[in-house]
Chain A
């Protein structure tokens, strides 16, 4: 019953709460201070009012939305690849001591290399620039996913294994009904952290690589949000820089919120009673 008429009720609950209004007031105060700082000349960053005007114009510009589309696509390609490879790899390392001993040293040597250090090598290695950006994005999310999966699987209480074995579970049954669900909360955490890093990385990769070959549509405006910011800087449009920055903030927030929601759906036992 809560599910059917739930959304409106929940939205109302949110708007009626003190917590919501405290957050709103904080945002407004921040914007006001920023506006004052810009107008009085303390800051050279364009005022929020000017940014809002540009934002409004850009909303009707398809090439701006195409930047969104390109970055989102790269993030999700890299992120999905990181999940598809990272989860089995992490589980494998958690389950098999031999596999762990073989793979983990290599993993630990590669892990400290910042994804952005991979950009030049990646451009040489991959046939298209699109693939090289996606690869760097993949790396950003990959390490976070793997580390969380290993940690989560290893943290499963030994009593669960003992109980399962006592009741006649086979190895496969233990993997499927103990290890997998036991690791799921950590997978969700890894995914949420990973997609945040993926956004950070994709933007920088787009700036460095020049936005990829997809720049055909709308000319220089088609290289993703990272390139959009860089291009605005080169073109001297400071309000657009800020719009680009805010766009990435929004994109990251939406991605994380989506993953959290999805995470709650797959781990119903962690919901508040």
Chain B
């Protein structure tokens, strides 16, 4: 399987490029992250560079365990890179702050607070829990469709509701950037589709800069303006795919769209290669198998 040279595909070097009229909200320059020291050191991210454009939805996709979550912890400021720099709005990333809020894989709603209190957490933390914040909380409760569940605790909400409550909790702080780490993982297929449509709509309304990490190609193509395809660990940007599908998007439009399918093919073959690399690293037998497998694919063509 060979990748046809496509105008949308660019190599890793162009990951830092922004559109002529665009502004980079987040920039990563040659970021590396290693854990441990000496013989036990493990490099999770190596020489990773990319830009997240203001007002755009950038999706990062890569094989599982490739260091995407580590990258998110760096962006959020929970950890520091071993080398390289990350800037947000031109300034180096410092302590975790409300300018870039993270939605984790699993819900991080505070279990001891009701939906309403969870949403009001940020304003109250900054001693701004006055009328303005309450009005905003009400508005967001309605927006995420949880008005009737304001007094419920997180365990009393379904998976999709928890995600929406968390979105509201983040949005009330009006962050510059939303960072989402596989936010819809673990939801059932139906809920996942609904959440994707909901999130696309939300993004299209607000056009808030978004960095969205996923392992799901369909999700990536449906949501993204631009997809960063990652290599296997240690993570780097392998390729950049521009998704120029018109917005607002609907799931069924994307399914039948030829461009979308083309991007999907490209992304799949890139990811397949990366996934196989990690697979092969595990054992000789796997490597031999992949070798034979790829030969067999090439033959008919």
* Chain A interface (Cβ < 8 Å from any Cβ of B): 157, 159-160, 162-170, 173, 177-178, 181-182, 184, 267-269, 273
Contacts and interface: CB of A to CB of B under 8 A. Distances in A.
A178 B110 contact: yes
Q: Please give me the 8 A-B residue pairs with the lowest Cβ-Cβ distance, nearest first.
A: A167-B122, A181-B112, A269-B153, A169-B125, A159-B108, A273-B156, A166-B96, A168-B126
A162 B121 contact: no
Contacts of A181: 110, 112-113
A159 B111 CA distance: 12
Interface string B224-239: 0000000000000000
B203 interface: no
Interface in B180-212: none
Interface residues of B, number: 27
A159 B106 CA distance: 9
Contact of A157 (B102, B108, B125, B153): B108
Contact of A160 (B78, B108, B125): B108
A23 to B, nearest CB: 29
Given A162-B78, A173-B125, A268-B153, A167 B173 contact: yes
B102 A165 contact: no
Give the secondary structure class of A's interface: helix
Contact of A170 (B111, B122, B125): B125
Contacts, number: 67
Nearest to A184: B112
Contact of A168 (B112, B113, B122): B122
B95 interface: yes
B96 A159 contact: no
B111 A269 contact: yes
Given A269-B153, A273-B155, A182 B112 contact: yes
Interface string B90-112: 00000111101110101010111
B52 interface: no
Nearest to A185: B112
B95 A165 contact: yes
Contacts of A268: 153
A123 B122 CA distance: 53
A155 to B, nearest CB: 13
A104 B132 CA distance: 46
Choose among A160, A167, A168, A268 the residue with the greatest number of B CB atoms under 10 Å from its CB: A167
Contacts of B111: 269
Nearest to B73: A162
Contacts of A178: 110
A164 B112 contact: no
A177 B110 CA distance: 9
Contacts of B98: 166-168
A168 B173 contact: yes
Contacts of A167: 98, 101, 121-122, 125-126, 169, 173
Contacts of B97: 166, 168
B184 to A, nearest CB: 17
Contacts of B126: 167-168
Contact of A162 (B108, B125, B153, B156): B108
Nearest to A157: B108
